């Protein structure tokens, strides 16, 4: 009898626990009340969200990552790891010891860990339903998300790097497309073709766009310095001013003045990440890109602030004729990223990026300082409007110079030491210089340090054997 009682008691306890568990599961899944939906009651987005999380969990040993739209296993559809340069194997765990450090491109992967560390923050995720913004235009018949515009202006006011009030905004396919649009807008309706110039070293895009588009309204003249004080300043001139400059990181101002001169300021790198901000920029045409602010180069999203209404209208016309505005998905993502930046006091990304770039610069400088063969550009400490103090350099690129007389092709010298840089001639100056990108992944940067150190350490031996 006693045994039976115990058994019944046991039964009841089990039943209670079990029913309790069921109540928990049911309530956990089906209850909640504001306009925002209960997160446990997801329906159509659930499977896609689960898939995205599963992909994010695929281990690539910290030397790669798997993507939703990557090539995948034929059997279970699991995407393969896409490994960083010099890493391989199904989980990117195999390092190729003789692999070159590829620091050629300005791929801004240095910010990838910033976003990965914020994995838990739902704020950086975009979820796009099948019917999201199918139309050619937004509600106000424009190609521009007003919400995104507002958020971009707020990010500038926190970074204290530009005066945006009283200026029109235009969205483009990266700063690349906006540069093209600005040149077209400035060179339309002129009596004679406008000369396009830039102080070099300067990025090759200015020349390559002119060469490729072969427009009747403009031609590429070369270095602005050549035109300074020359009679040509009476002709129509468009001066590109990249500030801070790519490749050398120096802050720049237009060198040419006059009624027939118009400047386009490429401010891609004018963020606390890469430079002191002496004062907020306030030029007539200023171009920025998400690529160098958040690191999302793949989104192809940039914006320009323009003071003059006619120039603004013509730039808009260019974007419209070229491709009828910028992808809604890219704009939604940019909005999410801006919102993420603005969280808290809005300084996280700038603190993180400055620390990282400054750290990289210090490490690199230290190695180069041991060398007599190589030197780096000098960037003096300067007061920064954002940090409200004098701060050291943290440039996007190292502009390395080979000092030995015989090293006329500095890029070849580095190439022989397993370092892939970008030759000075590409920036319209001599090959004594090489640009080394400091923007890439930690793997790329560490490999650069490794190979450079080896090169510097063996420098004296090399000199002796020559």
- 76: exposed, middle or buried (C-beta count within 10 Å: 0-12, 13-18, 19+)? exposed
* Residue 58 or 429 having the CB closest to a copy of itself: 58
Q: 333: phi > 0 → left, psi -120 to 50 → alpha, else beta; which?
A: alpha
Distance CA 120, CA 106 (A): 28
Contact call for residue 56 and a copy of itself (CB under 8 A): yes
Binds a copy of itself by CB under 8 A, chosen from 2, 97, 191, 212: 212
Nearer CB in complex with a copy of itself: 352/387: 352
Please name the residue ranges forming H helices in 370-393: none
- The residue from 97, 135, 345, 465 that contacts a copy of itself (CB under 8 A) is 135
18 near a copy of itself, rule: CB under 8 A: yes
3-state secondary structure of 113: helix
Q: Which of 164, 235, 316, 331 binds a copy of itself (CB under 8 A)?
A: 331
| Two tokens, residue 64 | 């790669």
What DSSP string describes 306-363? ES-HHHHHHHHHHHHHHHSS--HHHHHHHHHHHHHHHSTTS-HHHHHHHHHHHHHHHH
- What letter would DSSP give residue 105? S
Distances (CA, A) of 318 to 231, 313, 454, 460: 31, 9, 49, 56
- Does 330 help bind a copy of itself (rule: CB under 8 A)? yes
Beta partners for 434? 400, 423
Query: Does 378 contact a copy of itself by CB under 8 A?
Result: no
Closest CA to 247 of 11, 3, 425, 64: 425
> Binding of a copy of itself at residue 359 (CB under 8 A)?
no
- Shortest Å, Cβ 465 to a copy of itself: 37
- Nearer residue to a copy of itself within complex by CB, 105 or 225: 105
Given candidates 60, 183, 198, 326, which one binds a copy of itself under the rule CB under 8 A? 326
Nearer to a copy of itself, 303 or 374 (CB): 303
Among 182, 199, 287, 332, binds a copy of itself (CB under 8 A): 332
Q: Which position among 156, 195, 262, 296 is part of the footprint of a copy of itself (CB under 8 A)?
A: 296
Distance CA 80, CA 74 (A): 10
For 105, half-sphere exposure in the C-beta direction (CA atoms, 13 angstrom radius) is: 9
Query: Pick from 318, 354, 361, 445: which binds a copy of itself (CB under 8 A)?
Result: 318
Q: Which is nearer to a copy of itself, 367 or 448 (CB)?
A: 448
Pairing state between β 87-88 and 94-95: antiparallel
Is residue 22 a contact point for a copy of itself (CB under 8 A)? Answer: yes
Give the binding range for a copy of itself (CB under 8 A) out of 204-212, 233-241, 369-377, 389-397. 204-212
Stretch that binds a copy of itself, among 64-72, 159-167, 234-242, 449-457 (CB under 8 A): 64-72
Told to check if 192 binds a copy of itself by CB under 8 A, we report no
Window 142 to 171, contacts with a copy of itself (CB under 8 A): 145-148
Q: How far is the CB of 235 from a copy of itself (least distance, A)?
A: 18
Instruction: Answer whether 302's CB lies under 8 Å from 288's CB.
Output: yes
Q: How far apart are CA 225 and CA 294, in angstroms?
A: 33
Q: Which of 176, 260, 375, 382 binds a copy of itself (CB under 8 A)?
A: 176
**The only residue of 2, 34, 388, 461 in contact with a copy of itself, by rule CB under 8 A:** 34
Among 129, 259, 416, 466, interactor with a copy of itself by CB under 8 A: 129
Contacts with a copy of itself in 98-127 (CB under 8 A)?
Answer: 105, 107-109, 111-112, 115-116, 118-127
Place of tokens 């990965």: 116
Q: Which of 61, 62, 99, 133 binds a copy of itself (CB under 8 A)?
A: 133
Q: In the numeric block, which tokens belong to residue 264?
A: 């386009």
83: β partners:
64
Structure tokens at 28: 């956990």
Cβ of residue 269: shortest distance to a copy of itself, in angstroms? 16
């Amino acid at each position: 009898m006693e045994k039976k009682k115990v058994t019944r008691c046991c039964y009841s306890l089990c039943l209670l626990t079990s029913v309790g568990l069921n109540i928990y599961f049911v309530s956990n899944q089906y209850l909640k009340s504001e306009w925002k939906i209960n997160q446990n009651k997801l329906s159509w987005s659930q499977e896609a969200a689960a898939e995205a999380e599963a992909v994010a969990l695929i281990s690539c040993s910290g030397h790669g990552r798997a993507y939703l739209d990557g090539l995948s296993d034929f059997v279970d559809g699991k995407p393969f790891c896409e490994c960083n340069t010099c890493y391989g194997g199904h989980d990117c765990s195999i390092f190729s010891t003789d692999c070159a450090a590829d620091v050629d491109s300005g791929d801004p992967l240095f910010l990838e860990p910033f976003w990965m560390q914020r994995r838990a923050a739902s704020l950086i995720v975009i979820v796009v339903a099948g019917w999201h913004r199918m139309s050619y235009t937004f509600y106000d018949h424009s190609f521009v998300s007003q919400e995104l515009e507002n958020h971009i202006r707020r990010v500038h006011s926190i970074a204290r790097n530009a005066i945006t009030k009283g200026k029109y905004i235009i969205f483009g396919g990266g700063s690349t497309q906006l540069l093209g649009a600005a040149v077209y807008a400035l060179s339309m309706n002129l009596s004679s073709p406008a000369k396009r110039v830039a102080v070099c070293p300067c990025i090759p895009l200015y020349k390559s766009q002119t060469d490729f588009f072969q427009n009747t309204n403009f031609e590429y003249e070369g270095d602005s310095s050549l035109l300074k004080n020359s009679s040509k300043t009476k002709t129509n001139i468009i001066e590109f001013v990249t500030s801070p400059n790519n490749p050398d990181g120096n802050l720049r101002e237009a060198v040419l003045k006059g009624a027939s001169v118009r400047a386009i300021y490429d401010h891609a790198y004018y963020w606390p990440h890469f430079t002191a901000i002496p004062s907020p920029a306030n030029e007539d045409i200023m171009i920025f890109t998400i690529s160098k602010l958040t690191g999302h180069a793949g989104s192809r999203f940039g914006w320009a602030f323009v003071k003059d209404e006619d120039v603004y209208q013509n730039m808009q016309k260019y974007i419209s004729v070229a491709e009828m505005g910028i992808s809604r998905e890219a704009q939604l993502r940019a909005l999410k990223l801006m919102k993420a930046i603005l969280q808290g006091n809005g300084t996280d990304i700038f603190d993180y990026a400055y620390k990282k770039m400054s750290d990289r610069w210090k490490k690199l400088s230290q190695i180069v300082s041991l060398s007599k063969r190589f030197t780096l550009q000098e960037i003096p400490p300067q007061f920064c409007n954002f940090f409200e103090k004098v701060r050291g350099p943290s440039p996007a690129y190292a502009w390395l110079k080979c000092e030995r007389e015989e090293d006329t092709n500095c890029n070849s010298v580095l190439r022989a030491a397993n370092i892939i840089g970008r030759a000075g001639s590409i920036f319209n100056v001599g090959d004594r210089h090489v640009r080394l990108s400091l923007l890439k992944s930690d793997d790329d940067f560490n490999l650069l340090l490794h190979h450079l150190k080896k090169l510097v350490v063996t420098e004296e031996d090399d000199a002796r054997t020559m």
